[in-house]
A = this chain, B = another copy of it.
Amino acid sequence: MFSVTVRDHMLIAHSLRGEVFGPAQRLHGATYVVDATFRRATLDADGIVVDIGRATEVLRAVVGELSYRNLDDEADFAGTNTTTEVLAKVVADRLADALGEAARGLDGLVVTLRESHVAWASYERPL
């Protein structure tokens, strides 16, 4: 199995609902350093997993739609707790949709959101 990973980042504000979140129930924010990993059993005719230029553009577009925003005010997240885990899935699902033709032949996708030097979350899905 092969994989290729590209990294970008986004800066968002949000608050979390639920006693388990303690002070993170207040409006605060985070930088998420986002790693998108594309998996593929065999390489294509060019010897690659994915056109890394295209994957980078798509990742930039997906994080660009989320960055510099207060997620509490976004209609897409009404009623959703925007935890790091949930956002990892959002980025992965939007990437899968946006890849279009570039996803051909890919077997899966992993998105990791690093929120600090001591905590991160991932979501893995098939393609």
Contacts and interface: CB of A to CB of B under 8 A. Distances in A.
Interface in A35-84: 43, 46-49, 51-53, 56, 67-70, 73, 80-84
A24 B83 contact: no
A33 B122 CA distance: 20
B5 A68 contact: no
Number of copies of this kind of chain in the complex:
6
Contacts of A82: 47
A123 B1 contact: yes
A121 B49 contact: yes
A123 to B, nearest CB: 5
Given A23-B68, A26-B70, A28-B11, A119 B47 contact: no
